Structure 1
Amino acid sequence: MQDIPVPAVLDASERVSIASGPHQAEFAPGGGGRLTRLATGAHDWIVPLTATEWPAGQWPRAGSYPLAPYSNRIRGGEFTFNGARHVLQSVPGRPQAIHGAGLFQAWQVRNQTEDSVDLVLSQPAGVLGWPWPFECVQRWRLDARGLGLTLVISNQGDTPMPFGLGIHPYFTAQRVTLHARRIWPSDADGLPTGSQVTHVRELRQSAEGCDTYLSQWEGRATLHWPDGRQLALHADPAFAHLVVYTAPGADFLCVEPVTNVADAFNLAAAGETRSGMRVLEPGGRFSATALLALMPPRGA
């Protein structure tokens, strides 16, 4: 199988928008299927993505991008599944295969209405070394509650496919409260080797930054802004894992609902039963939903 590269530069100049009442959302299909803005009036819930192009491996820390067909990194870009070894390619400037190839490709618009849009990626076998063809759909819906998302993936190949899904939003919030009961400490490579019981109640922007892998988080988290605004994240049980990331001194906070922990395929191959790796049979289909509930300041 010949490896298929992704575009060296992503073109995010075309934008599509949806709205419901005071809420607006904007997307760049050609920019990796990204959500580029989510706002209520003048308030931006997510760091707006204003760039119209960027090198594939040097994406802006803004907006929100899809994670498909896996979340986070795969150690060394290699994994074994059903007895076969697979070697994935990375994009320039990235030492490891990361986040799947979905964020490095153009997505197609399907079924756009005033308050909804579907973004679709049909990926052939071989893109950045991923040996299975698949289709992934982001179904975005905006209403009075906020922005809802259904992620759908189907295996279009003729052998079982391991996979994971998620989103990677750069929120403008300062902190997130939650109740996670399992943490996956990172090793020197920034990847987990196992997990342990914990109680994580809050994480926030800080001078030190954080890159924290959690699970057993009940699919509930609340992001907080200084003016009292809140965003309540509600996720299906399928999103059993959560990544909270911020760079040292950064003005964003990533709170990422995902179905698998980093390096899930290798952990699963080593016998770890909580990695979140899932398998789709040929022709199989999987979906999971999440809601970004947008809450005004108290008393507003």
Structure 2
Amino acid sequence: MPLPDMVEIASGPISARFAPRWGGRLTHLIHAELGDILVPTHETDFDPWNWPKAGAYPLFPYHNRVAGAAFCHLGKGYTILPHPALAGDAMHGPAHRRVWRIEEKATDGATLRLDYEADTEWPFSFTAWQTFILNDQGLSLRLKLLNRADRPAPAVIGWHPYIQASLDDKAHTDATAAYPLDPLSMPIGSVPCHRDDETIPASSGYTLHFRNWSKAELVRGKAKIVISADPIFGHIAVHRTERYLCLEPVSAAAGVLGLPESERQASGLVMLAPGENLSGDIKMSITSIKHGEPS
């Protein structure tokens, strides 16, 4: 049976659309009063190596860069397919470039599933799920990754939303630690520095990596958008441009596969035995600020 090109769910003032063939993407998230919450996806074709900077997509089984598209795992070296535009580095895992399918569908929710077979982009087979549920207050998302390989596999889960925002919109996160970064905006080492200022800078073209957070918030006109997540998502990546703010809950530090193996667990990397899974919930609260209410 052919996969649907687009799937839609709704609850109260909030509606969402998905394109399973486009890497299991959430292409639109709309509030009846507040408008587009995510940058809407207008593309008519999907290039898996030049993906739309819109909507939201899943991060399995790693996020951000793998330097040199190579890593060592349990003493064995692995080489994976690099991104063609990143000077030999791999990026964001293969799941968001593959065809997903709808496993379950209701009026207010949907579960998307990917059965991934080991190949040149990742050497460990896995199954991944995204379960979305809408309510009047926003969106709940459960991510789950099951190791289907016949040996232990490294695992990271995360989510990459493009929240529609200008540089005039105020944002902050209560994260208490920030990683020093190299020229490619990747963490240097495994130990972050203490952070006092909760402000997310109102400038363009940067990426920051934080840990030890409980929420990240954007105030955009009358809209207050708050991201929170289960403790498994101990890290959050922040990327900002003139038209969007990415608040990305992730379960491990960026570049974790480049750390010495003895340091990876402390930076969030999970080792899944065959048949084990890693899962966690993310919430996006969407509320309207009333006149006179502090933002």
TM-score normalised by L of structure 1: 0.89
**Take 2:202 and 2:15, find their aligned partners in 1: how far apart are those partners?**
25
Give the one of 106, 116, 136 matched to 1:123: 116
CA contact (8 A) 2:65 2:92 kept: yes
Q: Cα offset for 1:85? A: 0.6
CA contact (8 A) 1:268 1:277 kept: no
Compare 116-125 and 181-190 and name the one that shifted more.
181-190
Aligned to 1:290: 282
CA contact (8 A) 1:73 1:262 kept: yes
Unaligned runs of 5+ in 2: none
Matched, 1:212 2:208: yes
**CA distances 1:77-126 after superposition (whole Å, capped 9, x unpaired):** 11111001111102432331111001111100111010010010100011
**Take 1:108 and 1:274, find their aligned partners in 2: how far apart are those partners?**
34
Q: Cα offset for 1:13? A: 8.6
CA contact (8 A) 1:101 1:127 kept: no
Task: Output the amino acid matched with 2:128.
Answer: C
TM-score normalised by L of structure 2: 0.91
Matched, 1:191 2:182: no
Task: Output the amino acid matched with 1:86.
Answer: Y
- Going from structure 1 to structure 2, the CA distance change for 1:110 and 1:188 (only over 3 Å counts) comes to same
State the secondary structure of the residue aligned to 2:267: coil
Q: Aligned runs of 1:152-163 on 2, under 5 Å?
A: 152-163=144-155
% same residue: 32
Q: Cα offset for 1:268? A: 4.5
Matched, 1:221 2:212: no
**CA distances 1:14-33 after superposition (whole Å, capped 9, x unpaired):** 11100001100111100111
CA contact (8 A) 1:177 1:223 kept: yes
CA contact (8 A) 2:160 2:246 kept: yes
Task: Output the amino acid matched with 1:215.
Answer: R
Q: Aligned runs of 1:1-300 on 2, under 5 Å?
A: 14-41=5-32, 43-95=35-87, 96-128=89-121, 130-173=122-165, 174-194=169-189, 195-206=192-203, 208-217=204-213, 219-225=214-220, 227-247=221-241, 250-269=242-261, 271=263, 274-299=266-291
- Going from structure 1 to structure 2, the CA distance change for 1:200 and 1:238 (only over 3 Å counts) comes to farther
Unaligned runs of 5+ in 1: 1-11
**CA distances 1:235-287 after superposition (whole Å, capped 9, x unpaired):** 0000000001013xx21011101111111122252635532111111000121
How many residues are aligned here? 283
Q: Cα offset for 1:48? A: 0.4
